[in-house]
Chains A and B, each alone.
Chain A
Amino acid sequence: MSSLSLQFPNSPSLSQEKPIDYNHLKLQVVEEVVEKGFVGFVQFALGYWGNGHYRCIDGPGTSEQCKSLCDFLLEPTEAKGNHEWIRISIGELLLIKGRFRISTFRNTLKIIPSLVFSLGNGFSLLGFDHMFSSPLFLSLLALLAASLMACTYTTQIPLVKVARRWSFVHSAEAISKQEIAETLPRASVQDLGVILMGAGYEVFLKGPSLYAFKGLAGRFAPIGVHLAMLLIMAGGTLSAAGSFRGSVTVPQGLNFVVGDVLGPSGFLSTPTEAFGTEVHVNRFSMDYYDSGEVRQFHTDLSLLDLEGKEVMRKTISVNDPLRYGGITIYQTDWSLSTLQILKDDEGPFNLAMAPLKLNGDKKLFGTFLPVGNTDSPSVKGISMLARDLQSIVLYDQEGKFAGIRRPNSKLPIEIDGTKIVIVDAIGSTGLDLKIDPGVPVVYAGFGALMLTTCISFLSHAQIWALQDGTMVVVGGKTNRAKAEFPDEMNRLLDQVPEIVESSSSRQSDSSSG
Chain B
Amino acid sequence: MIFLTLEHILTHISFSIVSIVITIHLITLLVDEIVKLYDSSEKAMIATFFCITGLLVTRWIYSGHFPLSNLYESLIFLSWSFSIIHIVPYFKKQKNHLSAITAPSALFTQGFTTSGLLTEVHQSAILVPALQSEWLIMHVSMMVLGYAALICGSLLSVALLVITFRKDIKIFYKNNHLGNESFSNVFGNTYFFSAKNYYKSQSIQQLDHWSYRVISIGFIFLTIGILSGAVWANEAWGSYWNWDPKEIWAFITWTVFAIYLHTRTNTKLPPANSAIVASIGFLIIWICYFGVNLLGIGLHSYGSFTLTSN
Contacts and interface: CB of A to CB of B under 8 A. Distances in A.
B12 interface: no
Interface in A210-238: 236
Contacts, number: 115
A41 B298 contact: yes
A457 interface: yes
A238 to B, nearest CB: 12
B240 A439 contact: yes
* A-side interface mostly: mixed
A501 interface: no
B295 A113 contact: yes
Given A39-B239, A449-B223, A486-B187, A481 B245 contact: no
A454 interface: yes
Interface in B236-261: 236-245
B130 A319 contact: yes
B210 interface: yes
Nearest to A132: B243
Contact of B237 (A110, A330, A481, A483): A330
A108 B128 CA distance: 29
Contact of A293 (B94, B126, B242): B126
Interface in B113-143: 126, 128-130, 132-133, 135
A210 B94 CA distance: 29
B280 interface: no
Q: A-B pairs with the 3 shortest C-beta distances?
A: A318-B129, A319-B133, A434-B238
Given A446-B227, A453-B223, A109 B240 contact: no
Contacts of B242: 39-40
Interface residues of B, number: 48
A270 interface: no
Contact of A457 (B220, B227, B244): B220
Nearest to B294: A109
* B-side interface mostly: helix
22 contacts: A39-B242, A41-B298, A43-B296, A105-B307, A106-B294, A109-B294, A113-B245, A180-B187, A295-B129, A318-B236, A319-B133, A321-B238, A332-B237, A443-B231, A446-B227, A446-B230, A446-B231, A453-B219, A454-B220, A482-B184, A482-B187, A482-B209
Given A318-B132, A432-B238, 14 more contacts: A39-B243, A106-B294, A131-B243, A179-B187, A180-B187, A291-B126, A295-B126, A318-B130, A433-B238, A446-B227, A456-B216, A480-B213, A480-B216, A482-B187
B129 A109 contact: no
Contacts of A367: none
B297 A432 contact: no
B223 A450 contact: yes
A297 interface: yes
Contact of B239 (A295, A319, A434): A434
A383 B134 CA distance: 42
A267 interface: no
A287 B147 CA distance: 35
A332 B238 contact: yes
Q: Which of B185, B213, B220, B240 has the most CB of A within 10 A?
A: B240
A138 interface: no
Given A106-B306, A132-B243, A291-B126, A44 B210 contact: no
A472 interface: no
A296 interface: yes
B252 to A, nearest CB: 13
A442 B231 CA distance: 10
A321 B235 contact: yes
A289 interface: yes
Contact of A40 (B209, B244, B296, B306): B244
A457 B217 contact: yes
Contacts of A486: 187
Interface of A: 37-44, 60, 104-106, 109-110, 113, 131-132, 179-180, 236, 245, 289, 291, 293-297, 317-319, 321, 328, 330, 332, 361, 432-434, 439, 442-443, 446, 449-450, 453-454, 456-457, 480-484, 486-487
Contacts of A433: 238
A40 B94 CA distance: 47
Contacts of B210: 483
B308 interface: yes
Interface string B73-87: 000000000000000
Given A105-B307, A319-B132, A443-B231, A432 B237 contact: yes
Interface in B81-105: 94
A91 to B, nearest CB: 11
B13 interface: no
B234 interface: yes
A499 B271 CA distance: 43
A110 B245 CA distance: 12
Nearest to B264: A480
B232 to A, nearest CB: 8
B231 A330 contact: no
A294 B127 CA distance: 9
Nearest to A245: B238
A110 B310 CA distance: 17
Contacts of B230: 446
Given A318-B130, A450-B223, A110 B295 contact: yes
Interface string B176-211: 000000001101000000000000000000100110
B272 interface: no
Nearest to A156: B265
B224 interface: yes
Contacts of A483: 206, 209-210, 213
Contacts of A113: 245, 295
Contact of A289 (B126, B217, B236): B126
A93 to B, nearest CB: 13
Contacts of B310: 60
Contacts of A296: 129, 132
Contacts of B307: 105-106
Nearest to B234: A439
A41 B296 CA distance: 11
A421 B243 CA distance: 47
Nearest to B243: A132
